[in-house]
Structures are given as structure tokens and as C-alpha cells.
Homo-oligomer: A and B are copies of this chain.
Amino acid sequence: MTKTTVRAQQPLLPLNQILAGDCIEMMNSLPEASIDLIFADPPYNLQLRGELHRPDNSKVDAVDDAWDQFGSFDHYDRFTRDWLAAARRILKPNGAIWVIGSYHNVFRLGAELQNQGYWILNDVVWRKSNPMPNFRGKRLTNAHETLIWASKGEGAKYTFNYEALKALNEGVQMRSDWVLPICTGNERLKDDAGDKAHPTQKPEALLHRIILGTTNPGDVVLDPFFGTGTTGAVAKMLGRDYIGIEREEAYRKVALKRLEKVRKFDKEALETTTSKRAEPRVPFGQLVERGMLRPGEELYSIGNRFKAKVRADGTLVGNDVKGSIHQVGAHLEGAPSCNGWTYWHFKREGKLVPIDLLRQQIRAELN
């Protein structure tokens, strides 16, 4: 499928809207292979027996809304199977899905993802910096939730903005454990009575990391359990399109109001750090063609242990081996591979300079 084809489908999508209704029916009404990313925070199947009380006897406002009660694992598994299948149909071949859950439901979610052929890329732990303590001292403080990131299948080319996440983590690659506070304070939406509008509102920081890291600007992000619209809000800020599906009118109302107020970030602010792989490829032969290196000139290996001679066709010859800068380097080092650009050096005024410097000059000309 070409980019053009996909783009042509997009006008059919109800972009930046909240669809009212059952998420399975609504997903089934959307065209197949049209969504870049799905974020899903399904009901948790919490097995609460009676009410939970704090030591001071105040009642904990547990997740016991009607939509969160399932009679059995069987019922819950059927529900999980159906919505994951509907999600799978509308995902683009190179799309991906994130689901979040706790130990009550995440093992059912993960197993069913695998059963349907989704390919798990990472499980991620959201480590809450301010969780609710375990009041009775009968278990460990339940201080995290689990997210699963999966592509549509093995071998799919999912989106991963490695460098952007690395930058977000101040230069060290992002790990699978994320320390973030729960959603409180001004960010926590209230209803007209002043109570929290949704029992499990997710923090925007969580969605920021997910959407920044696994989508590109202009992508379509769908959330089948939209709630108060955190996914939509962050998608909008980051210049992505969103589609929300929500059954409960009360939540849709809050979300709508919230989304109206959200502003997209500056274009400049949305540019993120990119990887070298995205830069244009420069064949080594160009350095010779352009006279930056002369045929017959000698190159020196990184530790100055080997040398090789440049040939007019942009290959090297050294120690009776001929081939590309990478092949000759790999052979001399006895290594499975070698980046010739950083391995080979030329001499200028007695100093050894990596040939990558010449590549950078060419790339700079190309802007």
C-alpha cells in the first residue's frame, strides 16, 4: 500500500471527533487498515468484594462503576477478544497498539494479543511516584500499572522515534520502566458536582511519551475507551489526529470541553531529534569523483593498524582484499561488520581524519 492510497482514505475517517457508542460497533464501522496507533485503557475487571475502607473508615472511591463489572474471566475474555479483533482490522499493516492494565486484567490482555498474532515489542511499567498505599498492610503497595506495546504482527515496520525518546531521557536510551506521577491536581478533571469526572483518568505525561515515541506528526491515533479524552488532548497538542470512542455521555461531555481548550504546540517545538538513518545516503565513490580523495591515496584504520588504497571506482584494496570501505574494514578486523565511514582515516597535515568528515561536508551541501 502506497502512501498516496492511505492518504486518499483519510477523508473518510471521522478525524478529531468523539464517536458515541459501543467501541466494537464503532470500530467495525471504520475502514480497515486506516489507523496508525491505538491506545486502549479497557475496563479492569476489578474483583472487589464489598467496599474498601481506609483505616479512618472513610470509603475509598473504588472503580466499581457498572461498566467495570464482569461476571467471570470467560465473559471478560470474550469481550477482550472481540475488541482486540476489531482494533486489529482497522490498524494499518505497520500500525501499533498500546494497552494498559493492572494484574487483574493485563495477563488476559497480553495473552489474547499474542493469540491474535499481535507481536509484543515491549511491556512497559508505569511506576507511580504517588500511589495509593495499601491500607491494611496485607499486600505490597500496588505502585504500578503495566502497558503493552505491540505491532500488528511479526516483522511489521512499526514506528519508533528512538532518538526523540533518548533526548527526552537526557541522552540515555529510554527504558521499559517509566516513573510518572498519577493524575492529580489541576490536571484531574472534575464534574459539575466537583467530584472526579472519571475514576481512572490517565496522566497526560504518559500519553506524551507514547505518542511522541511511537507515532509521527499527522498520524491518526484512535482510543476505543476514550473516557475524558487524555489521548485526544495529547494527540492534538503534538500535531496528531485523533478519533475517540466513548459510550458514556457524561465522559464525552467532559472530553469535548477539554479538547476545545487544547492548543497545538508550535511547529518548531514539534520537530524532534532524528536518527542518522534518516539522513541521505552518500556513496563513498562520490568522495573520489569529487576529488576529495585521490585514487591511489592511502587510508588508515582506526587504530592505524592497517592501511588500504583508494581505487578509482570507490573501492578499497588492502592486504589483497578488495571491496567497499565496509567490507575491507570488516575483513581486516575479522569482524562481522564494520562502519567504514568511522573506521577509515585519511592524512591531512600529518593528522589522521575520519573520512566521515568528508561525508558530512557533502551532506551539509545537500542541506
Contact = CB atoms under 8 A, between A and B. Distances in A.
Interface stretch (A7-15, A16-24, A86-94, A266-274): A266-274
Interface string A114-133: 11000011111101011101
A336 B270 contact: no
A175 interface: yes
A273 B115 contact: no
Interface stretch (A32-40, A189-197, A253-261, A287-295): A287-295
A291 B336 contact: no
Contacts of A311: 268-272
Given A111-B107, A366-B129, A167 B314 contact: yes
B111 A309 contact: no
A176 B144 contact: yes
In the assembly, how many copies of this chain are there?
A: 2
Given A174-B141, A366-B179, A295 B270 contact: yes
Interface in A119-176: 120-125, 127, 129-131, 133-134, 137-144, 146, 148-149, 160-165, 167-176
A175 B114 contact: no
Size band of the A side of the interface? 35 or more
A71 to B, nearest CB: 14
A359 B222 CA distance: 33
Contacts of A164: 312-313
A295 B312 contact: no
A324 interface: yes
Contacts of A335: 57
A100 to B, nearest CB: 13
A170 B294 CA distance: 17
A179 B115 CA distance: 31
Given A205-B290, A270-B311, A324 B139 contact: no
A145 to B, nearest CB: 10
A213 to B, nearest CB: 8
Which of the listed residues A161, A167, A181, A266 has the most CB atoms from chain B within 10 Å of its own CB? A167
Given A265-B296, A324-B171, A336-B57, A140 B273 contact: no
Contact of A295 (B161, B269, B336): B269
A138 B160 contact: yes
Nearest to A334: B57
A53 interface: yes
A212 B140 CA distance: 13
Contact of A296 (B266, B272, B280): B266
Contacts of A44: none
A290 B180 CA distance: 8
A67 interface: no
Contacts of A123: 102-103, 106, 146
27 contacts: A59-B336, A103-B122, A110-B110, A121-B139, A127-B127, A127-B177, A131-B175, A137-B173, A141-B176, A143-B177, A144-B175, A164-B313, A167-B315, A168-B283, A168-B285, A169-B314, A170-B284, A180-B286, A180-B290, A208-B288, A265-B294, A266-B296, A269-B295, A269-B312, A270-B295, A272-B311, A272-B313
Given A205-B289, A270-B311, 6 more contacts: A53-B336, A57-B336, A107-B109, A127-B127, A140-B176, A168-B314
